[in-house]
Amino acid sequence: MGKVTVYGSNYCPGTQAALQLMDEKKIIYEFKNISGELVNLKEFLHIRDTDEQFNTIHAEGRIGIPCFVLENGAVSLNVNDIFEK
């Protein structure tokens, strides 16, 4: 598996738990903090606004983080999907 890009926030417990699990499993990733850098937020919003997986997220008024983008461009909202790839 190649590098994974993780969009999330330092303020999000789910993001922090996912990063910790990825560290434990020695997964190589790049963390893009959407609450710390505007460019990261813009990148994430583009993904969220164009990927059908986020339709339910929108309907429920949630943010949709953490969000995982695999090297091949596949998007997932579940950290466990990374371990299966």
Domain ranges of the chain: 4-84
Q: Check pLDDT > 70 for residue 85.
A: no
The mean pLDDT value of the chain amounts to 93
Please compute the mean of the pLDDT values over residues 10-22 and round it to a whole number.
Answer: 96
Q: What is the pLDDT of residues 25-35, one digit of tens each?
A: 999 999 999 99
**Fold held by 4-84:** Glutaredoxin (3.40.30)
Q: Is the pTM of this model over 0.85?
A: yes
CA distance readout (Å), 20 to 13, 25, 45, 62, 73: 11, 9, 24, 22, 22
